[in-house]
Amino acid sequence: MHLETETDLSLDQWEILKTLCRPAQGRRVINRQFLAPLIELGLAEWHNELPVLTTRGRRVLIRGAAKLLDLAA
């Protein structure tokens, strides 16, 4: 299984991944309830008490961008 191509996330989780791409100062508050599964999947992690996107999380976000565009249409 390729996690990067087969990850099925909720819209809220996709939004959190997109939020984690932004600098910490410009981020909105992230709901820890939605962040926990992303950490379990290895898509995000805690660094200096701030949630950050992992390399795997970046790959999932980039490869999932086409899926997100389909959902918006």
Instruction: Note the pLDDT tens digit of each residue in 40-62.
Output: 999 999 998 889 999 999 988 88
Q: Rounded to two decimals, what is the model's pTM?
A: 0.74
- Asked if pLDDT for residue 33 goes beyond 60, the answer is yes
Please report how many Cα atoms fall inside a 13 Å half-sphere around the Cα of residue 54, on the Cβ side: 14
Q: How confident is the model at residue 70 (pLDDT cuts 50, 70, 90)?
A: low
Distance between CA atoms of residues 13 and 16, nearest Å:
5
Domain 3-72: which CATH number of 2.60.40, 2.40.128, 1.10.10, 1.50.40: 1.10.10
